[in-house]
Amino acid sequence: MAGRCKSRTPSHFFKIILPSTIQHMKLSIPEKFVREFGDELSTVSKLTVPYGPSWQVGLEKVDKNIWFCDGWKDFVEYYSICYGYFLVFEYQGNSNFHVLVFDKTATEIQYPLSKNCKLEDQVDIMELEDANISMHNKNESEMSNSDDELPTNRKEVGEKSVRKQISGMSSKGKLMMSRGRERAMQAARRLRPKNPSFMGIIGRANMHKCEG
């Protein structure tokens, strides 16, 4: 029929990670995809994930078969990919692939940060925590002075009790809070709101202000 639009050539494929994939540390590309795009693939591909570094992975070509090989092991180990996982590849041209990684629960994994990003995030968090601690100590001092002048009531006793529990928290408890904050920040960075936005950390000092 004249004027009919030609259907778009599929550019996605998925692969289930089998024991042989882990053993040989290389992953074959489906034959149909190779027939469509094999001629334009170079000897080196670029893999990217939704969040994190990009990866240079070699392509091994033998007849009409192509495998991800050199550098594939590093990619697998970095994202803790194992038997039973499955990966979805989107070909973006010029030997570039965007990859989604799903674990055994059929749920997309939490992509780890790059080492450089982790270091920068830790510095930012430490600076914010130092500022919050300073404001918190100032507020505690002011509240302590006002306690001597005002009569004690249940609300004041409750606030003192909560502050005492926080200040006496064990190092294990503080570590758990730090890990929880890191997971929350990772989730926030993955959001892509349409409107202009920014991210901030609410410290304990800010919470005391809200109580008033």
pLDDT at 86: 95
The CA distance from 149 to 48, in Å, is 62
Distance of CA 105 to CAs 13, 22, 101, 108, 116, Å? 19, 19, 11, 9, 30
Torsion of CA 47, 99, 101, 200, to 10 degrees: 90
pLDDT at 85: 98
pLDDT at 17: 96
The CA distance from 18 to 84, in Å, is 7
Spell out, as residue ranges, where the chain has pLDDT lower than 70.
1-10, 114-212
The amino acid at residue 55 is W
Domains contained in the chain, CATH given: 12-102 (2.40.330.10), 115-191+198-211 (no CATH)
The CA distance from 73 to 80, in Å, is 10
- Determine contact, residues 78/113, Cβ cutoff 8 Å: no
- Determine contact, residues 49/79, Cβ cutoff 8 Å: yes
pLDDT at 136: 53
Token pair 């392509």: residue: 59
Q: Which of 126, 112, 135 is nearest to 183 (CA)?
A: 112
Dump pLDDT digits (tens) for 4-25: 554 456 699 999 999 999 999 9
pLDDT at 66: 97
- pTM, two decimal places: 0.53
pLDDT at 119: 37
pLDDT at 113: 78
pLDDT at 121: 46
Q: Which two tokens stand for residue 167?
A: 């200040």
